[in-house]
Structure 1
Amino acid sequence: MSGKQAMPLRQIDLPITFRDLTNYRMETLTFEVVRFHGTYHAILGHPCYSKFMAIPNYTYLKLKMTGPYGVITIGISFQRAYECEVECYEHAAAIVASRELAAIRKVVTEEAPDPKRHSKRSHEHALKIRLGSTPVKQRLCCFDEEKRRAIGEEIAKLLAAEFIKEVYHPEWLANLNLAK
């Protein structure tokens, strides 16, 4: 979960069935529909456990409840649980990064100084170089599509984490260097 609140759009009643081949249990549960982008289609919690009189065991990844012909046990492997966790994390990170990147771009665009207008502040940076040497303009680096995508993803992550921010220095630039 993203840790943010979501207001329910509406409620919907759905029949839910837990079963094995010979023993099953069906109850109608009320779900709240929210505008939440995630990898889960539905989240079952205490209302579900109460209605089915189910007992979850998080250590063994099992859910047990009584059925008409004995105990019904629902379970999942640790490997599949781990894969779901990784998928959920990656999906949430991508959503957060894309939303924060859009917000950061908007803020940076609004706060960007006019590059045509010079002030004392734009001349604070200085390179300590050997006297008598002349600056050399580097040739522009061109990257293939895969490297451009990788650069874009890394920049988006760094911007979202507020590790870097966009600045405007129209008088000097440096080429990107990709570590292999």
Structure 2
Amino acid sequence: MDGGSSLNLIYEDTVRKMGIDSSRIKPSTTTFKGVITGIEAHCTGTVTLEVVYGSPRNFISEELIFDIVPFGSGCHTVLGRTSSARLNAIPHYAYLKLKMPGPNSVITINGNTECSLQTEEQTTNFASEVHASEEATHGGKHTTSSSKRTRAVQVDLGHIPPHPK
């Protein structure tokens, strides 16, 4: 959940792994910054997906439009603030919880600390790799400061570890 952005993002590798038929993907001209500092990303399309929250006895279902991001990530999707507002969802980032009203009671979605830390590490490594590539491409004349950048590490984002229970 991203409280700062209105975009719902889904990563290309997630779309591929879900087996979403390409006929469902619509063209997009959306660009955004902020996932990787200083780098502008161009979305490759949009797809509408039904998202279900809760359990079989207490759930809500909502169709959301996702912008497809042309790179991988340790997470599968990012929900923007407009989706959380539509669902009346309240995120608590410190406790990795998302709560929203359901038809019978409050729906609570619990995050996983280990998985979140792993995702954060993968994302940081990916950002370092992209910045190093940009710097090499532009001969060190990149607009972002490189003095505090960590060394780039090759990261294989093709395998996303299963969510531990």
Which TM bucket (shorter chain)? 0.5 to 0.7
- Secondary structure of the 1:85 match is helix
Q: 1:21: Cα distance to partner?
A: 4.7
Q: 1:157 aligns with which of 139, 148, 151?
A: 151
Q: Distance in 1 between matches of 2:62 and 2:113?
A: 27
Where in structure 1 are there 5+ consecutive unaligned residues? Answer: 108-155, 159-180
2:130 is equivalent to residue 95 of structure 1: yes
Count matched residues: 109
Q: Distance in 2 between matches of 1:99 and 1:37?
A: 17
Where in structure 2 are there 5+ consecutive unaligned residues? Answer: 1-34, 142-149, 153-165
Q: Distance in 2 between matches of 1:98 and 1:40?
A: 22
Q: 2:139 aligns with which of 101, 104, 109?
A: 104
Q: Which segments of structure 1 move beyond 4 Å, counting only runs of 4 or more?
A: none
Structure 1 length-normalised TM: 0.51
Pick 1 or 2: higher relative contact order, CA cutoff 8 A, min separation 6: 2
Which structure has more strand as a fraction of its residues? 2
2:89 is equivalent to residue 49 of structure 1: no
Q: Distance in 1 between matches of 2:109 and 2:51?
A: 13
Q: 1:2 aligns with which of 36, 40, 56?
A: 36
Q: 1:16: Cα distance to partner?
A: 0.8
- Secondary structure of the 2:78 match is coil
Alignment of 1:58-97 (within 5 A): 58-97=93-132
Structure 2 equivalent of residue 128 of structure 1: none
Task: Provide the alpha-carbon RMSD of the alignment.
Answer: 2.7
**CA-to-partner distance for each residue in 1:87-127, whole Å, 9 max, x for gaps?**
2111221232234234439x9xxxxxxxxxxxxxxxxxxxx
Structure 2 length-normalised TM: 0.55
Q: Distance in 2 between matches of 1:96 and 1:40?
A: 20
8 Å Cα contact 1:27/1:51 also seen in 2: no
Q: Which amino acid aligns with 2:136?
A: L
